[in-house]
Amino acid sequence: MAEATGIKEIIKPENLAYKKSRIMTDNVLSYCPGCGHGTTHRILAEVIEEEGIQSETIGISPVGCSVLLYNYLDIDWQEAAHGRAPALATAIKRLMPEKFVFTYQGDGDLAAIGTAETIHACNRGENILIIFINNGIYGMTGGQMAPTTLPGMKSSTSPYGRDVKVMGNPLKMTDIVATLPGTYYVTRQSVHNPANVRKTKKAMKKAVRYQKLNKGTCFIEIVSNCPSGWKMTPVESIKWMEENMFPFYPLGDFKVPEEQDS
């Protein structure tokens, strides 16, 4: 009895160490254990809540594992056809320039079927945020080769490993869009440990601020893991990502605004 009373006394707002962002809904996430999507969603929700932009935010969810993203964040959403999110975002932002508009896309969506929409939205300098989750595989359809699958990496459509002579090389979209005059802020992050979660959150907060400046596209790549698609345990997949993905897709800023802007 005395013990129960003790717990009751501890559960007070001032003792709260962590709570779910109020922007996250109570819907159960559809992701596999160890996947980076959930962490990225939480960061996004926290940024929207902390920046106080819920009522001015329109998100565009892709086709891929995060197709049901609109069930998880309590904001207005549009669900795009595969690869077309930047085209939707272009129109939304141009018709309602005062709103905060972002897309959330995987590597197949952004770097294969939607390459044209991605490049041209960035080239026009559309004043939007593009969040690019790169796990080097098609997760939702069951682990097929993606445009970002590493050389030699196995997938269900590259069962002997990606032979770049036959299947082409991985496309480094972040490197490409950084060369376009239309982009304003281009960075590559990860969410696999607390330090990088904090860095990613900081990058997203910057992107929110930059969108208000009306100076061009913000592009945040998040290199992530796919334990199911890679056929690894979550812990193995993190280790594999650090040893294989990060050397090929180094984390860091590609394009940062001039000092006076940031």
Partner 1 sequence: MEKELRLMKGNEAVAEAAIRAGADGYFGYPITPQSEILEYLMEANPVKTTGMVVLQAESEVASINMVYGGAACGKKVMTTSSSPGISLMQEGISYIAGAELPCLIVNVVRGGPGLGTIQPSQSDYFQATKGGGHGDYHLIVLAPASVQEMADFVDLSFELAFKYRNPVMMLSDGAIGQMMEKVWLSPYKERSKTVPEWATTGKPPTRKRNIITSLDLDPNAQEIFNQKLNAKYNEIREKEVRYEEFQCEDADYLFVAYGTSARVCQKAIQLARADGIKAGLLRPITLFPFPEKRINKLADRVRFMISVEMSAGQMVEDVLLAVNGKVPVYHYGRMGGMIAIPEEVAENLKSKIIGG
Contacts to partner 1 by CB under 8 A: 54-58, 60, 67-68, 70, 74-81, 84, 87-92, 94-96, 99-100, 116-117, 120
Give least dist CB 25 to partner 1, A: 9
Burial of residue 199 (CB within 10 Å: 0-12, 13-18, 19+) is middle
CB of 206 to partner 1, least distance (A): 21
In one-letter notation, the amino acid at residue 97 is P
Of 87 and 130, nearer to partner 1 (C-beta) is 87
Minimum separation from the CB atom of position 50 to partner 1 (A): 16
Between 119 and 167, whose beta carbon lies closer to partner 1?
119
Among residues 91 and 235, whose Cβ is nearest to partner 1? 91
Single-letter residue type at 200: T
- Residue 237 CA to residue 247 CA, distance in Å, equals 15
Burial class (CB in 10 A: 0-12, 13-18, 19+), 38: middle
CB nearer partner 1, residue 121 or residue 238? 121
Residue closer to partner 1 (CB basis): 84 or 188: 84
DSSP 172-197: -HHHHHHTSTTEEEEEEEE-SSHHHH
- For residues 83 and 15, what is the distance between their CA atoms, to the nearest angstrom? 44
Q: How far is the CB of 105 from partner 1 (least distance, A)?
A: 13
Q: Which of 99, 130, 96, 92 is nearest to 216 (CA)?
A: 130
Q: Which residue has the tokens 């891929």?
A: 64
Q: How far is the CB of 143 from partner 1 (least distance, A)?
A: 20
Mind giving me the DSSP string for 40-82? HHHHHHHHHHHHT-GGGEEEEE-SSGGGGGGGTBSSEEEEPPT
Q: Which residues contact 152 (CB under 8 A, 6 or more apart)?
A: 161, 162
- Output the smallest distance, CB 59 to partner 1, in A: 9
Rank residues 54 and 156 by Cβ distance to partner 1 and give the closer one: 54
Identify the CA nearest to 169 among candidates 230, 111, 98.
111
Identity of the residue, 90 or 148, whose beta carbon is nearer to partner 1 in the bound complex: 90
Minimum CB–partner distance for residue 55 and partner 1 (Å): 5
